[in-house]
Amino acid sequence: MKRLDKSEIVFKLLAYILLTIFALCCLYPFVFIIMNSISQKSFVDDGLVSVIPMGMPQLKAYAAVFENKKFWLAYCNAFYITIYGTAISMLVGICGAYALSKTRLLFGRGFNFILTVTLWFSAGIIPTYQNYVVFRDGLFAGNGRVFFIFALGVNAFNIILLRNYFQSVPQEIEEAATIDGATEFQILTRVYIPISKSSIVTVAMFYAVEFWNGYLWAQMLLGEDDLPLTVFIKLYMENTIANIEEAGGGNLDYSSYSLRYAFIVCSIIPVILIYPKIQKYFASGVNVGGVKE
């Protein structure tokens, strides 16, 4: 094994120190939120909680969250929108990326140019909102969650990532499958999708996070019973928690801030549980999908 000289040792030492500091800075907000959600009311209201719980740890704020039926309805809405939205977006994205990756596609250059232009320019928030309202009150009238799924079902950047990955697949593999009698659908499902698993999982995670964190359009266009978790928490904080604070906290045994933090902790649990399991796909998926040889 090659010995490191002094300059390399110093560089690695500084790199590890800086990365450790950066990691701690990223971790601190999560620790702060959790500690405030379980600390005693007086300490939280006085702003004394930092990285350790103050007073006897308590879970009364979490109990209030779990007893809130509208919270669970919003949670189910978020899962519904995320699961079906990601599935439909991936179906559209994979089919579109596969077609755009083929040089034999009629007017392929034009379609690729139109797709890329949407990354640089957009119609603006007002025309987009008007289009969404037309679809919501017309084709998807009475079903806001299904409307929201289709309204956000296409993302040009994600399709370009998949297209570039499909273009990196050796042409010889497709030719061999064609000689064996495979159809276009079989080539896509049995050749391209298995080879592109890392890129597909990465793009699927992008879509899932986008749907899970959907806020602006959900707040403007969905009804009360269709609201996802992010919008519900925001509205709950504006209305219910504001009333609690105006009343001086009432007879509650926990701080209104603890209730806020408990909502936030509960909302990020699915992402924390799922993300580490698919993190290994991210580097290869973005790098190969973003660079065309």
Q: What would the pLDDT profile of 11-59 be if each residue is shown by its tens digit?
A: 889 999 999 999 999 899 889 999 988 888 888 878 888 878 887 778 8
Higher pLDDT, residue 82 or 198: 82
Q: What pLDDT sits at residue 246? A: 66
Describe the crossing of helices 156-168 and 280-290 by its angle, rounded to 10 degrees.
80
| pLDDT tens string 156-192 | 888 988 898 888 888 888 888 888 888 888 888 888 8
Domains of the chain: 1-58 (no CATH), 68-290 (1.10.3720.10)
Six-digit token pair at 29? Answer: 């907000």
Average pLDDT of the chain to the nearest whole number: 83
Region of poorest pLDDT, from 58-67, 125-134, 139-148, 216-225: 139-148
pLDDT at 88: 92
Indicate the SS3 state at residue 146. Answer: helix
Give the C-alpha separation, 259 to 85, whole Å. Answer: 29
At residue 248, the pLDDT reads 59
Sign of CA dihedral 46, 49, 53, 59: positive
Burial (0-12, 13-18, 19+ Cβ within 10 Å), 51: exposed
279 pLDDT exceeds 80?
no
Q: Please tell me the distance from the alpha carbon of residue 242 to that of residue 264, in angstroms, as a whole number.
A: 16
pLDDT digits 0-9 by tens, 53-96: 887 778 888 988 888 888 899 999 999 999 999 999 999 999 98
C-alpha neighbours within 13 Å on the C-beta side of residue 283: 2
CA torsion angle 102 107 110 111 (round to 10): -60
Most confident of 58-62, 134-138, 239-243: 58-62
Does the structure show a pLDDT above 80 at 138?
no
Give the residue, 159 or 5, on which the prediction is more confident: 159
Q: Residue 102 pLDDT more than 50?
A: yes
Mean pLDDT for 122-141 is: 79
Instruction: Please determine, for residue 277, whether its predicted confidence score (pLDDT) is greater than 60.
Output: yes
Dihedral of the CA atoms 263, 265, 268, 269 (nearest 10)? Answer: -120
**Residue pointed to by tokens 């973003």:** 290
How far, in Å, CA of 99 to CA of 108, rounded?
A: 8
> What phi and psi values does residue 235 have, to the nearest 5 degrees?
-65, -35
User: How confident is the model at residue 86, as a pLDDT?
Assistant: 92
Largest CA distance in the chain: 76
Q: Quick one: angle between helices 229-236 and 69-100, nearest 10?
A: 140
